[in-house]
Amino acid sequence: MTTTPRPAETTASGAPAEAADARPTDWPLWEVFVRSRRGLSHTHAGSLHAPDAEMALRNARDLYTRRSEGVSLWVVPSAQITASSPDEKDAFFEPAGDKPYRHPTFYEIPEGVHHL
Partner 1 sequence: MTTIAPEEAAQEAAFDATVAADERIEPRDWMPEAYRSTLVRQIAQHAHSEIIGMQPEANWITRAPSLRRKAILMAKVQDEAGHGLYLYSAAETLGASRDELLDKLHTGRQKYSSIFNYPTLTWADVGAIGWLVDGAAITNQVPLCRCSYGPYARAMVRVCKEESFHQRQGYELLLTLSRGTDAQHAMAQDAVDRWWWPSLMMFGPPDDESSHSAQSMAWKIKRHSNDELRQRFVDICVPQAEALGLTLPDPDLVWNEDRGHYDFGSIDWTEFREVLKGNGPCNEQRINRRRRAHEEGAWVREAAAAHAAKHGKAGR
Partner 2 sequence: MRDTVTTPALPLGDDALILSHRLGEWAGQAPVLEEEVALANIALDLLGQARVLLSLAGDEDELAYLREEREFRNLQLVEQPNGDFAHTIARQLYFSTYQELLFEQLADGDTELAPLAGKAVKEVAYHRDHATQWTLRLGDGTDESRTRMQHALDALWRFTGEMFEPVPGLESLPWATFHDVWTTRITATVEQATLRLPEGPQRGAWTAGAGRQGLHTEPFGRLLAEMQHLHRSHPGATW
> By CB neighbour count within 10 A (0-12 exposed, 13-18 middle, 19+ buried), where does 32 fall?
buried
Q: In angstroms, what is the minimal distance from the CB of 57 to partner 2? A: 10
Considering only residues 33, 34, 56, 70, which one is a binding residue for partner 1 as defined by CB under 8 A?
56
Query: What's the closest the beta carbon of residue 21 comes to partner 2, in angstroms?
Result: 18
- Count of residues in contact with partner 1, rule CB under 8 A: 45
Options 51, 72, 90, 92; binder of partner 2; rule CB under 8 A: 51
CA 98 to chain CA centroid, Å, is: 30
The per-residue DSSP string of 8-74 comes to: -SS-STT---TT-TT-TT-PPEEEEEEE-STTS--EEEEEEE-SSHHHHHHHHHHHHSTTS--SEEE
Among 39, 86, 97, 104, binds partner 1 (CB under 8 A): 86
Q: Does 4 bind partner 2 (CB under 8 A)?
A: yes
Looking only at the bridges linking them, the beta strands covering 43-49 and 29-35 are antiparallel
Does 74 engage in binding with partner 2 (CB under 8 A)?
no
Q: Give the footprint of partner 2 on this chain (CB under 8 A).
A: 1-2, 4, 27, 48-51, 54-55, 58-59, 62-63, 66
